[in-house]
Amino acid sequence: MASAAIFSSLRRRRSPSLEAFLAPVHLNEITLVQTLASVSGELVSSFSDHSFSLQRRNSRSLIRKIEIFVVLFEYLRDSSVKIPSTAMLCFKEFYLLVYRSKILLDYCLQSSRLWLLLQNSSISGHFHDLNQEISTLLDVFPLKEIDVSQDVREQIELLQKQSSRAKLFIDQRDEALRIQLFSFLDEFEKGRIPNRLELRIFFIEKLGIRDAKICRAEIEFLEEQIYNHEGDVEPTVSVLNGFVALTRYCRFLLFGFKEEEEEAMGEMSFGNPKKPRKGLISQEIGDTFLTVPKDFCCPISLDLMQDPVIISTGQTYDRYSIARWMEDGHSSCPKTGQMLAHTRLVPNRALRNLITQWCTAHGIPFDVLDNTDMSMEALTLAASTKAAIEANKATAELLIQQLSNGSQGAKTVAARELRLLAKTGKENRACIAEAGAIPLLHKLLPSPNPIAQENSVTAILNLSIHDKNKSRIMEEAGCLGAIVEVLRFGLTTEARENAAATLFSLSAVHDYKKRISEETGAVEALVGLLREGSSRGKKDAVTALFNLSTHVDNCRLMIESGAVAALVGELGTEGVAEEAAGALALLVRQPIGAEAVGKEEMAVTGLLGMMRRGTPRGKENAVAALLELCRSGGTATTQKVVRAPALASLLQTLLFTGTKRARRKAASLARVCQRCEAATLPMGSWGVGYSLTGNSTTNHGSSFTGDVTVPVSISVPVL
């Protein structure tokens, strides 16, 4: 399917693809005429029988013009008429014109009806541009120098006159529909819900959107335009978000849940729950059974980055994902947890070029955006308009009504759609919770239907991202226990992982950390997921355990639940080692925690390994853990750390190359080692030498607060 960018490029007289628009210079005059007759005839036969729901007159007019050229080419092909060189130049230009015509006609057939309405004037302009090109070609075409029949000559001359007089045509029927579409959005903007009968007539009778499947395709197409948004495409992203919300509301208002229920039950009957839909590029890559290089994937979405950008902390994300993160009100880096110094996004052109080369080498489509220097205001996630918010509220009410009174299939569908709706925007999360979704989702958590359980726990996860909803979830009697039960005995891996992520999200509130830890089986289940889960499951579990470790009253429970052994065991696991070391650094601040870690045979070795090969944050957390272990673990534990091989050289390296916090902790640990060494050596003996350089002197009694950094992002599945 052609993209809107192709047509905006045509309007600017710029070729969207060099290979696609190369003139056939290698063809002689006979072969070129034969090719033109073939491709033109194929275009006419392909589109003549199609019914265009929009742009009808412009489409038919263009096809009729091509038909006349087919007559000319077939006559030249079947005769031995000599063709002058000037005519050959015109034919080569016409070859390109036929190709552009096919793209435009394809676009009008395959695009979303709503999108065609929104682009009515622009697409009409594309048809007018092609007509002007035909007129220009005919003006210079040497018809008098070619011996053709009188009938063919008259048709070409008539076409020349018609093309020269043709003006831009905007179908008033289409334009009236476009205005009516905006009127529905205006109703929501004013806080009113549009008339149901008018919506039915508009969507079903006038646009031909006759079932839920077509309506869903309309939504997905509009969402893709938002994702691939260019600065010169109208309407703006905020308005497009409004139309997505309007169409989603109409999907359930007009078509109900029956078709969706049948689809959900069909998935279950084959024991093959449908996974959430991924983005277009991710889906195409998945189908090729390729492993995408880790550095090419966005840490938030886990999908291949289309437009990598660097934020103030130096981390790289896909522009779409980090823009959404910021739009949701976050002011920290998702990966490191550092506060953002500013919200400017700097294009990572070097990485983008590497991604482009990799995609080209593996035959994967990859569209690089022309303008990667867009300001924050021009990004794909502008603030939602009031119309979008009101439409989403109306949709949420329909979904919650089904969640309350619908059949089991309808409840499953409603949970899935609430999961999707709660995934984007704090306004959506707020209105869904205010409408009473949380108690109903809670009731669905014990469902024997894997899809229902998975969608309900993920919907709660998405709702919990909004701070006010955390208290609603925790205050809902039995809801926390039900989430823990899904974590322990969930019917799908994703349900268990998302339950762990929900506990992580809820544990961001300090007062809830002890309640979560004391919930029967919660910590043990997180430990089990950390030991045996998938990469993502381990990540969810370790971040939740880290949060719980920050509450001093949880230390004994964490030890008794086997968390210490599990955290030590994951110090060498990429992706979770930073958080594991950070959690250990918190636990060893208490004597019982230090004692438990000291008893783990591989604890010191694992932390030293992180100091040697870990990330900057991992090294920082590892040295902090060793320092606190020495401070709280007693003489025997301190000597065990001090006598560890290569500790002195690792500390010296950190003093020169580590982060600011890592250097401070390394200096403090070196002093601890010096004192321990001095106390155990006879007078006049020489030790291993934990000497400090002058520029590494630090505050000896600095607080531990802030010295452990972990990612704070929540991995939310994409439907």
Could you tell me the pLDDT band of residue 11, with boundaries at 50, 70 and 90?
very low
Nearest to 141 by CA among 12, 36, 15: 36
Q: What pLDDT band is residue 357 in, cutting at 50, 70 and 90? A: confident
Residue 105 CB burial class (10 angstroms; 0-12, 13-18, ≥19): buried
* Residue 309 DSSP class: E
Residue 49 banded pLDDT, cuts 50, 70, 90: confident
Mean pLDDT of 162-189: 91
Percent helix, strand, coil in the chain (nearest 5)? Answer: 65, 0, 30
Kindly indicate the confidence band of residue 173, based on its pLDDT and cuts at 50, 70 and 90. Answer: very high
Question: Between β-strands 346-347 and 308-310, what pairing exists: parallel, antiparallel or unpaired?
Answer: antiparallel
Each residue of 107-154: pLDDT tens digit? 998 889 999 999 999 899 999 999 999 999 888 888 888 888 889 889
pLDDT at 613 > cutoff 80? yes
pLDDT digit string (tens) for 497-549? Answer: 999 999 999 988 888 999 999 999 999 999 999 888 888 888 888 888 888 88
What pLDDT does 26 receive? Answer: 61
The confidence score (pLDDT) of residue 588 equals 85
pLDDT score recorded for residue 698? 40
Q: What is the predicted pLDDT for the residue at 265? A: 57
Shortest CA distance to 415 belongs to which of 257, 215, 283?
257
Is residue 478 within 8 Å of 445, Cβ to Cβ? no
Give φ, ψ of 346 to 5 degrees. -100, 120
Across 17-29, average pLDDT:
53
For 54-76, the pLDDT digits (tens) are 999 999 999 999 999 999 888 88
Q: What integer pLDDT is reported at residue 214 of this predicted model?
A: 92
Region 618-622: what's the mean pLDDT? Answer: 87
Check pLDDT > 70 for residue 6. Answer: no
Query: Would you say residue 287 has pLDDT above 70?
Result: no
Strand arrangement of the beta sheet that strand 308-310 belongs to = 316-318, 308-310, 346-347
* Pair 348, 296: CB distance under 8 Å: no
* Helical axes 56-78 vs 120-140, angle rounded to 10°: 30
What's the pLDDT band for 34 if we cut at 50, 70, 90?
confident
**Which pLDDT score, from 0 to 100, does residue 370 have?**
37
pLDDT at res. 23: 53
State residue 288's pLDDT score: 33
CA dihedral 247, 248, 250, 251 (to 10 degrees): 120
Q: What is the rounded CA–CA span in Å between residue 6 and residue 225?
A: 13
More confidently predicted of 29 and 311:
311
The tokens of 637 are what?
Answer: 């534990």
Residues 282-298: what's their mean pLDDT? 55
Stretch 80-97: mean pLDDT? 84
Q: Is 308 exposed, middle or buried (0-12, 13-18, 19+ CB in 10 A)?
A: buried
pLDDT class for 364, splitting at 50, 70, 90? low
Measure the CA–CA gap between 54 and 170, rounded to whole angstroms. 11
Whole-number pLDDT of residue 73: 87
Across 279-283, 341-345, 699-703, the highest mean pLDDT is recorded for 341-345
Average pLDDT on 13-42 reads: 65
Does residue 374 surpass a pLDDT of 50?
no
Q: Can you tell me the distance from the alpha carbon of 540 to that of 533, in angstroms, rounded to the nearest whole number? A: 9
Burial status of residue 251 (CB atoms within 10 A of its CB: 0-12, 13-18, 19 or more): buried
pLDDT confidence of residue 275: 46
The answer to whether 391 touches 365, Cβ cutoff 8 Å, is no
User: Mean pLDDT throughout 460-479?
Assistant: 92
Q: How far is CA 48 from the centre of its chain?
A: 39
Which helix (H) or strand (E) segment holds residue 317: the answer is: strand 316-318
pLDDT at 128: 92
Range of lowest pLDDT (354-363, 412-421, 441-450):
354-363
Q: What angle do CA 7, 12, 15 make, to 5 degrees?
A: 65
Q: Which of 522, 462, 463, 455 shows the shortest CA–CA distance to 494?
A: 455
| Peptide bond before residue 645 is cis, with ω within 30 degrees of 0 | no
Mean pLDDT of 31-37: 85
Across 85-89, 187-191, 319-323, 714-718, the highest mean pLDDT is recorded for 187-191
Partner residues linked to 317 by β-bridges: 309
**What's residue 27's pLDDT?**
62
Mean per-residue pLDDT for 638-645?
83
Cβ neighbours of residue 259 under 8 Å, at least 6 residues apart? 211, 212, 213
The token pair at 31 is: 């072969």
* Overall average pLDDT of the 373-378 stretch: 34
pLDDT of 195 reads 94
3-class state of residue 551 by DSSP: coil
d(CA 350, CA 337): 25
* Alpha-helical segments (H) within 385-478: 386-405, 408-421, 426-434, 437-444, 450-464, 467-475
CB atoms within 10 A of CB 17: 11
Q: What is the pLDDT of residue 709?
A: 46
Report the share of the chain in percent with pLDDT over 90. Answer: 30
How far is the C-alpha of 522 from the C-alpha of 503, rounded, in Å? 9
What is the pLDDT, as a whole number, of residue 5?
Answer: 45
Selection from 37-41, 255-259, 452-456 with the highest mean pLDDT: 452-456
Helices (H) and strands (E) in the chain, counts: 34, 3
Per-residue confidence (pLDDT) for residue 672, from 0 to 100? 83
Element at 481 (helix H, strand E) = helix 479-489
Taking all residues of the chain, what is their mean pLDDT, rounded to a whole number?
80
Exposure string (b/e) for 587-623, b if CB count within 10 Å is 16 or more?
bbbbeebbbbbbebeebbebbbbbbeebebbbbbbbb
Confidence of residue 655 (pLDDT cuts 50, 70, 90): confident
Contacts of 518 (CB under 8 A, 6+ apart): 557
Residue type at 178 in one-letter notation: R
CB neighbour list of residue 450: distance below 8 Å, 6 or more residues apart: 268, 273, 491, 492, 495
The 10s digit of each residue's pLDDT in 294-311 is 788 888 877 788 888 999
